[in-house]
Every structure is written in C-alpha cells, then in structure tokens.
Amino acid sequence: MSVRVTAQPRPELAASLIQSDRAVFVALTIAHAVALLAIPSIPLVAIALWWNSNTIAHNFIHRPFFHSAIANRAFSACLSVVLGLPQDLWRQRHLRHHAEAAHGTARPIALTSVLVSEVLLVVAWWTALALGAPRFFVSVYLPGWAIGIVLCQMQGHFEHARGTTSHYGWLYNRLFFNDGYHVEHHRRPAASWRDLPSLGRPDTASSRWPPVLRWLDVFSLDGLERVVGRTRTLQRFVVRVHERAFRRLLPEIGSARRITVVGGGLFPRTALVLARVAPDAAVTIVDVSADNLESARPFLPAANAESVSTYAFKHERFDAALPCNTDLVILPLAFDGDRAGAYAKPPARAMLVHDWIWAPHGRSVVISWLLLKRLNLIQA
C-alpha cells in the first residue's frame, strides 16, 4: 500500500519569504517616492499610483508587513503621502468590497482617528506642493493622480464586470505579484500572493486581457457574439451560413442522437442550427460562464417549438483530452483548450470544429468567407 505524503512548508522558510516580501515591498515604495521626486511626469504619477495600489498597498491591506502596530501605521502613512490617497480609506473600502462579495452586506466606512490623520497628511502634502510648485501641481501632479484613480476604477470594474474574473498572463502576474489571480484571491483573501496560483480550479472564469485592457473583449469573439445576440439581421445571417455548412457535413457522420456543444452560451447559433438539421438530437450545451448560459436560454424555446430537440446546460469547463460519452462534439472558434490535441485525438467518435478559414483539417467546408470561418469534421 502506498501512502501519498504532501510536503508542508517549513516554518523557517515561510518566515524567510515573509521577510523577503516585506523588504521588497518597502524598497519598491521608497523607489516609487524617489522616482516621483526625481523624474516626475503625468504618466509616472498615473501608472505608479495604479500599480502600487494594486500590488504593494493591496498586499499590505490583507497581510500587514510588520508585527508592530506602530510600524504598520507608519507605513500606511507613508503610502498615503506617496499615493496621495489615505490608506485607511482604501483599506476600509477594499475590505468592504470583499465583505459584500462574500456575504452581500458590509459595514459603512468608519471615521477613525487613523483615517483622519491620513487625510490631514495628504492635505498637508498637497498644500505644500501647491504652494511650493504650483505649476507642477496643477499641470503634472493632479492630472497624473486623476488618471491613476481612473485606472484603479477601471481595474476594479473589469475584475468583476461579468463576475469575478482572473487573468493568467505571465507578464502581468510577474509585474503585479499575481494580482491576475483575482478569483483565487476572493476565495482566500488572506493568502500570500505566492500561494494564489495553487488555488486555481479548472472552472475558474478568466480573460486573456489584464483588467485595465479588458474592454478589448468587446472586439474579441465573445464580444462580437454579444453584438450578434442583439441584432436580428446578424442572427439570421450567422444561422443561415452555419446551417449550410452543417447540412453538408452531418450526413457523413451517420446517426448523432447525443450532441455536445462546447461554448454554446451567449447567442447559441449552433444549437439553433441543430434544431433544424438534427431535430431528434439531445443537445448538451457546455460553457464555463454561467452568464453566457443564461444569455443563451431565451433563444432556445423557439427552437423547441419547431422540433423535438431537447437541451441540457452544463456550467463547467470542457476538457477535450477526456473521452466524452456522446456521438458528436462541436468545438467553437473561441475554444479555450488544447485544440491541436483535440484534432489529434477527438474526445468522441465524431467532432466538428469551427476554425479559421486558413486552417482546414479533415473533411472541411467553408462557413463564410466574410466571417473567415470554416467547419472541420474529424472522425475517430
């Protein structure tokens, strides 16, 4: 009988890492302050405020750096001046956000002595800047500070715009101390930034973009799909061109009574097509996003009225490396997984893959030159 032993971190190693993190964060805060004094500019003020607030200040909120309360208050005061933002206000507001996300309710912001003292510090610092360097204060510091606050607001908004979402890009997480692991952070807010990657789960909602660039999702495949979902003319067009391709390939598969549609949320064009070309099939729609599944549901009753197709919805991430107990699997163009592996070893006896027009595999037909899409049939 074998026994699996899970290694536990040594206390002395954990303590060493904590001290190392503290030294790095304090050193970076000093570097931030020195840079503001030595090479001030609007981009530096803005980007440094945004970066520090979501790395050093954020880590300090959840895991204060010092054992001494006095030392923690002193560092909080230092951050308040460097960022131009009272840290006790930032701390209370951020912890309130976590409480609302976890429990739905939270206490209001409290007017503490620490908050009052940090507000006075920021006012004194701004007054000194305004009197000593009025042109710099008005033309550089204030615009940079305002842009930094806007970046912080964008960060917070897009981290939760469609439910709490993570970003796993290595560059962003190197520069931001794993801030991209946001779903994981909400699971265990007090966890060290070093431990966040170990808290990941296969069904975690994620985006290819870091939070402040997540507005680019509008131009992603999901974003374009949302546009289609709001436009009847586009809906009719995409259903028509997809139906034409499906009618050419489905007869080569034979009987397909059980069909799994991956990523079939938002506008469920594939499910609507199947209602016409495979009216007796049982269709399972799998999507990692619960919101996408909810968006798809209103489009499907009309299809049920025209056919005997049945629909089931699964909120989970589809793993194409695992066998699927179904006759046909349909993968979307936006499939977030090992597409090459699925082509090499299909998860079912037949697989239809939406792909770019320049990527034919197996038996392939063009869906639309305008959409730059084709449909590939792979049979095991």
Residue 289 pLDDT more than 90? no
pTM: 0.64
Q: CA-to-CA distance for 25 and 125, rounded, in angstroms?
A: 22
Q: Pick the residue with more confidence: 239 or 336? A: 239
State the alpha helices, DSSP H only, in the chain. Answer: 11-38, 42-54, 56-62, 69-83, 87-103, 113-132, 134-136, 142-160, 170-175, 182-187, 221-229, 232-249, 269-277, 290-296, 300-306, 339-344
Q: Tokens for 48, please give them.
A: 């440094």
Q: CA-to-CA distance for 322 and 221, rounded, in angstroms?
A: 25
Domain boundaries, the chain: 12-156, 224-379
Q: Pick the residue with more confidence: 306 or 352? A: 352
User: If 0-12 CB within 10 Å is exposed, 13-18 middle and 19+ buried, where does residue 366 land?
Assistant: middle
Residue 219 pLDDT more than 70? no
Q: Which amino acid is at 328?
A: L
**Mean pLDDT calculated for residue range 106-121:** 91
What is the band of 294 on the pLDDT scale with cuts at 50, 70, 90?
confident
- Are residues 361 and 353 in contact, defined by beta-carbon separation less than 8 angstroms? yes
Closest-CA residue to 29 (of 1, 2, 51, 4):
51
What 3-state DSSP class applies to 221? helix
Distances (CA, A) of 105 to 112, 133, 271: 20, 44, 39
**How much is the mean pLDDT over the chain?**
87
Q: Which amino acid is at 58?
A: H
The DSSP secondary structure of 64-126, one letter per residue, reads: -S-SSHHHHHHHHHHHHHHHTS-HHHHHHHHHHHHHHHHHS--PPPP--HHHHHHHHHHHHHH
Residue 152 pLDDT more than 90? yes
Q: Pick the residue with more confidence: 150 or 278? A: 150
**Mean pLDDT calculated for residue range 92-107:** 85
pLDDT of residue 11: 57
Residue 8 pLDDT more than 50? no
Long-range contacts of 235-240 (CB under 8 A, 24+ apart): 235/267, 235/269, 238/267, 238/269, 238/371, 239/269, 239/272, 239/273
pLDDT of residue 279: 86
- Beta-bridge mates of residue 258: 282
Residue 331 pLDDT more than 70? yes
- State percent of the chain over pLDDT 70: 89
pLDDT of residue 311: 81
Is CATH 3.40.50.150 what the domain over 224-379 is classified as, yes or no?
Answer: yes
pLDDT of residue 268: 87
pLDDT of residue 231: 82
Q: What is the largest CA-CA distance in the chain?
A: 81
Q: What is the pLDDT of residues 221-266, one digit of tens each?
A: 666 677 766 788 888 898 899 999 999 999 999 888 899 999 876 7
Phi, psi of 302 (to 5 degrees): -65, -40
Residue 82 pLDDT more than 80? yes
pLDDT of residue 2: 34
pLDDT of residue 302: 52
Give the containing element (helix H, strand E) for 362. Answer: none
Which has the minimum average pLDDT: 157-171, 204-218, 291-305? 291-305
**Mean pLDDT calculated for residue range 48-67:** 95
